[in-house]
Structures are given as C-alpha cells and as structure tokens.
Chains A and B, each alone.
Chain A
Amino acid sequence: MNTPRATRRALLVGSLLLLAGAAQAETSTQDAIAEYREMFGDDNPAELWQSRGEALWHTARGPKQANLTACDLGLGPGVIEGAYAQLPRWFDDTQQVQDLETRLVSCVTTLQGIPREEFLKVKFGDGEKKSELEALTAYVVAASRGKPIALPMQHPAEQAAYALGKAAFSYRAGPHDFACATCHGDAGKRIRLQELPQLTTAAGAREAYTHWPAYRISQGELRTMEWRLQDCFRQQRLPQLKFGSEVAIGLTMFLAKNAEGGTLAAPGIKR
C-alpha cells in the first residue's frame, strides 16, 4: 500500500498517544522500545519535529525577516552536516562554549532579531504548546546521523567546561544526597526496571549520548539534552537547572567527550 508519508505520520502520532498511557506503567526500557518497534517499525515520530525544524530554518522570520541559513554552528555559515558531532564548542563571536541549543538561540537572536525570551517562551514542548527550539534542534541533529562524535577540545574554556561537568557529575547535594554518579556511576544498575547507563565510561556514555535528543514514547514529545539534564536534576531534588547555564553546558561537554568516537544515531527513541 502506498500511504502518503504525512498521513502515515499522523496515524503514527495518534496511536502513540495511546501507547503513551500504556508506557507510563512499569515496563523496562528495552520492553517499551521493542513493543514500539513491533507496532511502528523504524518510523521515528521525531521526523515530525525535524520537518518542522527544516521549515523554520528556511523561513524568513523576525524583525530582520531573515532565515537561518547563515547560522554558523561551528563548521561555517549554513553548514549543518556534521555540526552536532562537534558540539559543544567554543565560539569566538559569543566568547562562550555553547551546546547546540544555546547556539541556536544565538543565531535566532542575532540573525532574525527575535528576542531570546520570546524564542524561549516554550523551551520544552507540551502537546499543543510547540517548541521551536526542539524542532530546530531535531533538524540540525539529524544532519549528523552516522557521524562520529569528535569535539575540538582545544580552547581552555572547552577544557574548563569539561572539568566543571565532571565535578558537577559527582556533586552530592539535596535532601537525598544524590549526584549524577549515584545513579549513573556504576555498570549494570537499574532504578526499578529502568536501566541506568554508566555515563563515566565510553560504552555507557556512547549508548546514551548518541541517541539524544530523543522522541520519548511516554511523553509523546521530542526531548533535548537540556531537557534530559534538568529532569534528572529534578529527580535529584535540586532546584531548576537554568537553560544554557555553566553546569548545563559543562555536563553536556562531559557526556559528549566521554561518548567521543561513538556514532550519532539521534534523534533516537526512548521509553
């Protein structure tokens, strides 16, 4: 049968909402994803975010009525292929180490003139409330599929970001004394039935990092690494991690560097 792609996607999202309810129950990560594949094959609903991002990238918008094709993600203006595989990195123009999300904010504000607060009004999408940031992220990330993670890591600020990420990973605090390392520091552990990747090893970090950002079946949303980090901090009982903060960038750098050499397969699919 030759169903048009758009219809197939719409069907897919409808049935996923049903599955989302079921996935809230305790199933292991492997089970939920296997179940999903059985129903939908290799179709990844993240494609919906990718195409929305692609359209956003090419549309003239904002006070400057510009599109984003001059956005420099590290490999030169407009180059998106392979760009995600080298992030986070230092940018001379902003004098900052940036991850993909914060770099996209820089491009949107400088090239299109859209105020940061306006663009970031919906950082993390929720049903009808769609996030432009997530769509653009998905679009750029998909252009690095199959590329090995290779960070420049030459600039002292990049090395400092890594060191801070490493320190933040072990930082025990809050009423439960949790650190990232409490849950992700050892091999073969799980919380309830959720397998916990050991993020301090190349194997564990690759397994996790190469599939993020990811479409989350249980939420019916595409989620970015910034989302993943702030949600783990929530579980850690800490206050709200600020978007693009030093610790957010540092931890992303730490995970990306640990995952170096891994082949990107994002956006992935997660429980």
Chain B
Amino acid sequence: MISLRLPGVLAASLLAVSLPLYAAETAPDAAAAMQRSFEAKKQAGMDRLQQDEVQTLCTRYTTATLPAEAASRIQQASLATVKPPSDGQYLGDYKAGEKIAQTGTGLQSSDDPAKPNGGNCYACHQLASSELAYGTLGPSLQHYGKLRGQSPEMLALAWRKLYNAQADVPCSNMPRFGHQKILTEQQLKDVMAFLFDPASPVNQ
C-alpha cells in the first residue's frame, strides 16, 4: 500500500490553519502528545493511537475538504483491502445480523474480549421501522433491500461499504468493519442479510 504518512508536526500545523485566533502559533505534535497522554488498558493497547494513512489524512481533512488527489489515493488503497466472501455467498442469517446491528459493545477496554463484537449499526442508522432508538450520524437504511434490490452489483457495493467504507466515501465516518477486523466474515454476511433479506425487519 502507498504510504501517505506525513510528519506529525506538519499534520498538527495544518490542523491549526483553520483556527482564527492563534493561527500563527505552532501547534504541538499531536501524535506525540497522544502517546504521552494515555496508558494501555486491557485490550485497548497503545498501538491503537498510531494512525494509518487514512486516519492521518482524515484527521486533517473531512470528505468535503479532502483534496481530489488524496481522495483517489484513499479510495484505491481502500478498495485493494476489500476481500469478497470466500465462498461467494453474500447473505447469511438476518436474525443473527439484527443482533449484531443492535450490539454496541466490542473492543472497548471495558468489554469482554471473549464475546463477539457488535456492529452498532443502530448507533448511526435507522434500520427496522419498529426500532425507534436509532442514531442519525449515517443515512437511514430503512427498507434498504426492498429499495435497492439484490443485483450482484448492489450486493458487492454494500459488502464493500461494510468491509471498508473508505473505498467509496473517503474520510467516511463509518467504521471499516472488515478491514479493521471489527466483524468476522460470517458476521458481515449476517448483517448483509439483515439489510437485504425480504423477510428481514429492515424490509417490512
């Protein structure tokens, strides 16, 4: 993968550019300060503070402000990470998928690492009409499969979104569930079924 890492000092000073009051002042090296300000706790180790190239660029820019050239580099590099399901089957069990969408725990220092991680889709998305406790950081996915259909292209697109959201929307706020190993391949298939299965509550 292409390395897009820039020196931290540059990253920090670029961050300060949009700051009207103290623009002239040199911002401290944020990455180094982060290292000094934390300590490992259970499964949340210090390595989690280290940014990959996507995180570095998306700290400095948002989807809207990202320069075109950096955007296409993120997209290409992210696209290369997406692994299609090993048996070619995109859809698993929608009931298991619903549970994953409802579960907000996983990978926090306070979580039991022996338990499967959640996808926490409801934190950010509307899904089943019956679930009113949904967040709005992402678009509504109500009736997703019903509206989009199940063409091979559509399934591949949704899989890519779940696997690595940066492949289509650079600096997306959606976690990279496959690439960052938040969800297993089977869990991704189950969530896919929750989105697409005609019997799924998402499509009622």
Contacts and interface: CB of A to CB of B under 8 A. Distances in A.
Interface stretch (B38-46, B150-158, B192-200): B38-46
Contacts of B133: 26, 192-193
B38 A235 contact: no
B60 to A, nearest CB: 8
Contact of B137 (A168, A183, A237): A183
Contacts of B77: none
B33 A192 contact: no
B44 A238 contact: yes
Given A190-B135, A239-B48, A240-B109, A162 B22 contact: yes
Nearest to B19: A166
Contact of B108 (A172, A183, A237, A245): A237
Given A173-B48, A175-B107, A247 B37 contact: yes
B37 A245 contact: yes
A160 interface: yes
A191 B123 contact: yes
A105 B54 CA distance: 39
Centre residue among A166, A172, A177 by max chain B CB count within 10 A: A177
Contacts of A228: none
Number of chain A interface residues as a range: 35 or more
B175 A191 contact: no
Q: Is the interface of A mostly helix, strand, loop or mixed?
A: mixed
B194 to A, nearest CB: 17
Interface in A183-199: 183, 185-186, 188-193, 196
A171 B59 contact: yes
A192 B123 contact: yes
Residue among A162, A167, A173, A237 facing the most chain B CB atoms (10 A cut-off): A167
B48 A177 contact: no
Interface stretch (B23-31, B82-90, B91-99, B141-149): B23-31
Given A175-B181, A177-B180, A189-B137, A163 B19 contact: yes
The residue among B34, B51, B124 with the most chain A CB atoms within 10 A of its own CB is: B34
Given A168-B34, A238-B44, A163 B16 contact: yes
Given A182-B173, A237-B44, A163 B135 contact: no
A125 to B, nearest CB: 17
A173 B49 contact: yes
Contact of B33 (A176, A235, A238, A246): A246
A242 B34 CA distance: 10
Given A192-B133, A238-B49, A247-B33, A177 B176 contact: yes
B135 A241 contact: no
Contacts of A173: 34, 48-51, 55
